[in-house]
């Protein structure tokens, strides 16, 4: 018997919803979940958090509007269990209690402000299920968010071996370093140096350089891959499990950092809410590939959102 669940991932840049049917346990560990609704809104919850330490009132309101819409969708589809995970921005903010109260009023369940370690493990679960059989393990899963980037190493059967979260997300790096339009060479160099220090620390901690396959998650990665593949529109089916070389990632990163925001907005696969931070996200991906010695990256459209859904298989939730 299937179980209908709703998963919400509220990050620094976006809030996403997945309503899906989980397979009956008797179907085995490789049985997929069945999507009923998969949605995303760019709400930029982490606007200014790196500088102020607080969630902006307008950012909380943008998130409330999107969440109210998601609550209606969850009710319409009749999800039996609901879990919302809030990540980097709401971990860091001084007024996180205000955010949590808003979520409980709007959604009916409190958000779980997950640790970086739990965030990484959920991302790994979502990414590794369904990987092509020729993708050799161990895997290094790289989840580039708005406020932080998660590095996770593990295997398909054994699960997570090690995980770490670093504060080098695309929004945080943009606000910290990339102020020009386009950013200047000195700004890019400062961002790259900041990212490299964090990446080296992460790869030593997990340890990522021993992984055989790099799997990249979230909007920065999938957007870079879509551009690298020359897509004329955002096509999840063509992006999911596409392989892109380091050389091509480096080319796309350089192109994005040399563009103005208006030029990036004109790219067919670009989400309007991602145009101002994609340069930093691409830079995180490129530096991580370089420092880990990875020749290519496999993009995955399945990530922490899917991991949250799978976590509800044996949970007692609303």
Question: Residue 146 belongs to a domain with what CATH number?
Answer: 3.30.420.150
Does residue 204 belong to any structural domain of this protein? yes
Q: Are residues 45 and 139 in the same domain?
A: no
Lowest-confidence region among 3-12, 114-123, 210-219: 114-123
**Which alpha helices (DSSP H) does 108-160 contain, by range?**
116-128
Q: Are residues 165 and 282 in the same domain?
A: yes
Does residue 208 belong to any structural domain of this protein? yes
Q: Are residues 287 and 142 in the same domain?
A: yes
Q: Which of 157, 155, 159 is nearest to 211 (CA)?
A: 155
Does residue 255 belong to any structural domain of this protein? yes
Q: What is the C-alpha separation between 195 and 218, in angstroms, rounded? A: 18
Q: What is the C-alpha separation between 36 and 30, in angstroms, rounded? A: 19
Question: Residue 46 belongs to a domain with what CATH number?
Answer: 3.30.420.40
Q: pLDDT tens digits for 232-248? A: 999 988 999 999 999 99
Does residue 312 belong to any structural domain of this protein? no
Predicted confidence (pLDDT) at residue 86 exceeds the cutoff of 90? no
* Beta-sheet pairing, 81-86 with 243-245: unpaired
Element (H, E) at 175: helix 170-176
Does residue 307 belong to any structural domain of this protein? no
Q: Are residues 112 and 154 in the same domain?
A: no
Strand partners, 153: 140, 162
Q: Are residues 48 and 165 in the same domain?
A: no
Q: Are residues 109 and 223 in the same domain?
A: no
Q: pLDDT tens digits for 270-305? A: 999 899 999 999 999 999 999 999 999 999 988 889
Strand partners, 10: 15, 86
Q: Are residues 111 and 138 in the same domain?
A: no
Helix (H, G, I), strand (E, B) or coil at 266: coil
Work out the number of other CB atoms within 10 angstroms of the CB of residue 121. 22
**pLDDT at site 317:** 46
Domain assignment of residue 139, given as a range = 131-300
Q: Which residue did the predictor score with more confidence, 224 or 86?
A: 224
Q: Are residues 175 and 66 in the same domain?
A: no
Q: Are residues 59 and 144 in the same domain?
A: no
Does residue 169 belong to any structural domain of this protein? yes
* Beta-sheet pairing, 139-144 with 149-155: antiparallel
Q: Tell me what the mean pLDDT of segment 249-254 comes to.
A: 97
Q: Are residues 275 and 135 in the same domain?
A: yes
| Tally of structural domains, the chain | 2
Q: pLDDT tens digits for 171-185? A: 999 999 999 999 999
Q: What is the C-alpha separation between 255 and 101, in angstroms, rounded? A: 42
Q: What is the C-alpha separation between 264 and 276, in angstroms, rounded? A: 8
Predicted confidence (pLDDT) at residue 313 exceeds the cutoff of 50? yes
Q: Are residues 111 and 137 in the same domain?
A: no
Q: Are residues 229 and 176 in the same domain?
A: yes
């Amino acid at each position: 018997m299937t179980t209908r669940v709703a998963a919400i991932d509220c990050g620094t840049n976006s809030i996403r919803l997945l309503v899906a049917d989980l397979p009956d346990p008797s179907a085995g560990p490789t049985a997929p979940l069945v999507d009923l609704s998969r949605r995303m809104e760019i709400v930029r919850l982490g606007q200014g958090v790196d500088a102020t330490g607080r969630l902006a009132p307008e950012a909380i309101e943008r998130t409330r509007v999107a969440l109210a819409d998601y609550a209606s969708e969850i009710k319409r589809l009749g999800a039996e269990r609901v879990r919302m995970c809030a990540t980097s921005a709401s971990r860091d903010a001084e007024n996180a209690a205000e955010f949590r109260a808003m979520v409980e009023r709007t959604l009916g369940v409190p958000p779980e402000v997950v640790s970086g370690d739990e965030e990484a493990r959920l991302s790994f679960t979502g990414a590794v299920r369904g990987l092509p059989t020729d993708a050799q393990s161990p895997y290094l899963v790289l989840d580039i968010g708005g406020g932080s980037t998660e590095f996770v190493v593990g295997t398909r059967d054994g699960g997570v071996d090690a995980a770490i979260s670093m504060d080098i997300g695309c929004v945080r790096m943009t606000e910290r370093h990339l102020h020009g339009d386009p950013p200047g060479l000195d700004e890019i160099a400062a961002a790259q140096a900041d990212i490299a220090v964090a990446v080296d620390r992460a790869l030593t901690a997990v340890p990522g350089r021993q992984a055989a396959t790099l799997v990249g998650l979230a909007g920065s990665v999938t957007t870079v891959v879509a551009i690298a593949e020359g897509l004329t529109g955002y096509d999840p089916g063509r992006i999911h499990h596409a392989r892109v070389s380091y050389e091509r990632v480096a080319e796309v990163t350089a192109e994005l950092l040399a563009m103005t925001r208006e030029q990036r907005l004109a790219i067919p696969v670009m989400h309007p809410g991602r145009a101002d931070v994609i340069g930093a996200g691409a830079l995180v991906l490129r530096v991580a590939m370089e420092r880990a010695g990875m020749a290519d990256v496999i993009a995955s459209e399945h990530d922490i959102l899917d991991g949250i859904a799978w976590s509800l298989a044996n949970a007692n939730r609303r």
